[in-house]
Amino acid sequence: MPIQENIKVEKKEKIEYPPIPENIYQVELLDINTKLVAKYKQPDVLENVLDFQFTILLGKDKKGEDLRCRNLWRNFVPTYLYIGKNGKNALYQILEAILSRELTQEEEMSGIDTNFLNGLIGKQLRVLVKNKKVNDKVYSNIEGFIPIENEFNSLTAEEKEKCIVKKKEEVKEDEEVNVDNIPF
């Protein structure tokens, strides 16, 4: 049976996002997702990973372009809160930067659950961004988490919709997706 609807497929140019300049940026925790990935050094074993999506609230790049709504990610394997030879792990650092305080003994003992994590979405913190060149591509990575000094204007509902990265199956026809620094 032939196509019944009037369809026109047009060419669209790929959107390039230059690396985010190294600096400290105030961000909003836009979303936390989980995904299954192959375990490090055990590719046959899958493990759940927390995928934190942060969106820059204020800043300009070297060309003077606004960085608001540019995205950064940090993944974390939710196994334990621990303090190792290099200090507190990434989850500790994220939580304490958002809360602007250390976790209490009670919070540490009871553990961090889904409700606690979901309650952090929309909160602000600062992140230290460093760039790393791999082959001929530059990646902007979060190297540290810092509590805020003052709250900035939060993302509007429209900005949140624009900034959130959707899975391919969630994208509607003709919808633009911000794939800035997708970590996978």
Model pLDDT for residues 74-107, shown as the tens digit of each residue: 998 877 777 778 888 899 999 999 999 999 999 8
Question: What confidence score (pLDDT) does residue 151 get?
Answer: 95
Question: What confidence score (pLDDT) does residue 1 get?
Answer: 63
Mean pLDDT of 143-150: 96
Contact between 28 and 54 under an 8 Å Cβ cutoff? The reply is: yes
Nearest to 57 by CA among 138, 141, 151, 173: 151
Q: Residue 37: beta bridge partners?
A: 47
Task: Give the residue extent of every domain in the chain.
Answer: 23-170
Question: What confidence score (pLDDT) does residue 167 get?
Answer: 54
Nearest to 120 by CA among 73, 25, 52: 52
CA torsion sign for 94, 148, 54, 115 is positive
